[in-house]
């Protein structure tokens, strides 16, 4: 996995977000084994405790589950993943619209922009 950490949010919550994204976008598959806490932590360049906290939060959400000695796995309950996907998409839309409004674009202008962009692409393809 590739990790990107920012300075303005708690690390553990960014880890949660990124692992969740990996699951929701299918980079980690349902039932797939996840690397060990220690490995993930060294990969992301954070303390194992911080990674542990992120994974426990994901467990609480039902996105992953731990098996005592063998490691952690992505959930196999697809409806949990699907629901997380919808929530995440909603958040992305929200954040995008706020950014665009800061740039001076109304919702309507944003939609027009996407629409015209799509049409250009449709014609070209």
Partner DNA sequence: GTGGTCTAGACCACA
Min dist. Cβ of residue 102 to a second copy (A)? 4
Please give the residues from 3 up to 42 whose contact with a second copy meets the rule CB under 8 A: 3-8, 21, 24-26
Q: Segment contacting a second copy (CB under 8 A): 32-40, 61-69, 71-79, 91-99?
A: 91-99
Strand-pairing partners, residue 65, are: 73
Contact 71, 34 (CB under 8 A): yes
CB proximity list for 106: less than 8 A, separation 6 or greater: none
- Collapsing DSSP to helix, strand or coil, 19 comes out as helix
Min dist. Cβ of residue 46 to DNA (A)? 4
Is residue 102 at the binding interface for a second copy, with CB under 8 A as the rule? yes
Enter the tokens of residue 116.
Answer: 């015209």
Q: 32 — alpha (psi -120 to 50), left (phi > 0) or beta?
A: beta
CB nearer DNA, residue 70 or residue 125: 70
Question: Which residues of the chain form contacts with a second copy (CB under 8 A)?
Answer: 2-8, 21, 24-26, 45, 85, 88-89, 92-93, 96-97, 99-100, 102-105, 107-108, 110-111, 113-115, 117-118, 121
């Amino acid at each position: 996995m590739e990790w990107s950490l920012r300075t303005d949010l708690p690390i553990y919550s960014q880890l949660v977000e990124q692992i969740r994204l990996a699951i929701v976008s299918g980079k980690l598959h349902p039932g797939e084994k996840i690397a060990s806490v220690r490995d993930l932590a060294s990969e992301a360049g954070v303390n194992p405790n911080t990674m542990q906290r992120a994974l426990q939060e994901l467990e609480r959400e039902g996105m992953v589950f731990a098996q005592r000695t063998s490691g952690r796995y992505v959930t196999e309950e697809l409806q949990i993943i699907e629901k997380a996907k919808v929530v995440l998409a909603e958040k992305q839309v929200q954040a995008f619209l706020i950014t665009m409004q800061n740039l001076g674009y109304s919702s309507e202008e944003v939609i027009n922009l996407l629409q015209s962009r799509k049409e250009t692409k449709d014609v070209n393809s």
